[in-house]
Amino acid sequence: MDWGMRNRINRIIKPDTGHTVMLAVDHGYFLGAMNRIEDPAATIKPLIQFCDALMPTRGVLRTSVDPATDTPIVLRVSGGNSIAGPDLANEGITVDFEDAIRLNVAAVALSVYIGTEFENQTLLNLTELVNQGQTFGIPVLAVTAVGKELEKRDARYLKLCCRISAELGAAIVKTYYCEDFEEVVKGCPVPVVIAGGPKLETELDALKMAYDAIDRGAAGVDMGRNIWQSDFPVPMIRAIREVVHKGAKPEEAHELFKQLRSESEKNVDPA
């Protein structure tokens, strides 16, 4: 692998732990102004220093992320669909590679929809990006998306999706945590990170999911809602870091979350 490609991957997946905490803030590309990310700049500002990579769209990157940041950017470059439209799987490539380079990205990301009517189209989107990425030394992260069909998230299906994504050249694959997750990782020759999915009932539930994923071989998390839809997003991302980078048990990380939460409550300006 070329130096530039390796360097970019090492900026995302930290070589000292082999793990990564990515913060996903790309949801608006098909979901619009979701709860707690209506003002992306306000959501991102306190969190960006605590993530190893940020995953926005180019619109959010240019409008809402301070260019002084040294946090690597994994740019969402697929879309063209919406929650109001007929089929979430119908995605194309939305960003010219030249613009991704202009934005100094560490990687580009797209979704693939395996087993849908748009399987071929989205897999060819992946190969198009991999070909361009090879030219410029930019890795591609493939998201094994399920659209509205959350029940598809089982090991048999996700193992198929992750392996196909890696076979077609993805450098990192993002998928969902599931029962028998180690089977998904075992069948995938590139690092696997997990999405958080819809907000779970408690922070402890999300910490348990992150712990189980790492324990079963994930390289990290690329989480959104379970961080920024928490009432205490900074304590939450810091607790997630404890699990991902330091191997803290969920209960230990939850203690840290509670301690940071109580400190942040004390710091609230009463005016």
Three-state DSSP at 229 gives coil
List binders of ligand R5P among 93-112 (CB under 6 A).
111
Interface stretch with ligand R5P, choices 21-29, 94-102, 125-133, 257-265 (CB under 6 A):
21-29
- Binding pattern for the stretch 201-230 against ligand R5P, x by CB under 6 A and - elsewhere: ---------------------xxxxx----
Interface stretch with ligand R5P, choices 22-30, 33-41, 207-215, 231-239 (CB under 6 A):
22-30
Give me the catalytic one of 45, 148, 159, 174: 174
Q: Shortest Cβ distance from residue 228 to ligand R5P (Å)? A: 8
20 versus 226: smaller Cβ distance to ligand R5P: 226
The sign of the CA dihedral 145, 146, 150, 154 is: negative
Q: Catalytic site residue 208?
A: no
Q: Between 203-215 and 233-246, two packed helices, what is the crossing angle to 10 degrees?
A: 20
- Binding pattern for the stretch 47-66 against ligand R5P, x by CB under 6 A and - elsewhere: --------x-----------
List binders of ligand R5P among 124-143 (CB under 6 A).
143
User: What are the CB-based long-range contacts (under 8 Å, 24+) for 247-252?
Assistant: 247/214, 248/211, 249/211, 250/204, 250/207, 250/208, 250/210, 250/211, 251/204
- Rounded Cα distance between 23 and 71, Å, is 11
Query: Which of 56, 72, 133, 196 forms a contact with ligand R5P (CB under 6 A)?
Result: 196
Instruction: Verify binding: residue 12, ligand R5P, rule CB under 6 A.
Output: no
**Nearest in space to 58 (alpha carbons), one of 31, 34, 91, 93:** 93
* Other residues' Cβ atoms within 10 Å of the Cβ of residue 66: 10
**Catalytic residue set:** 174
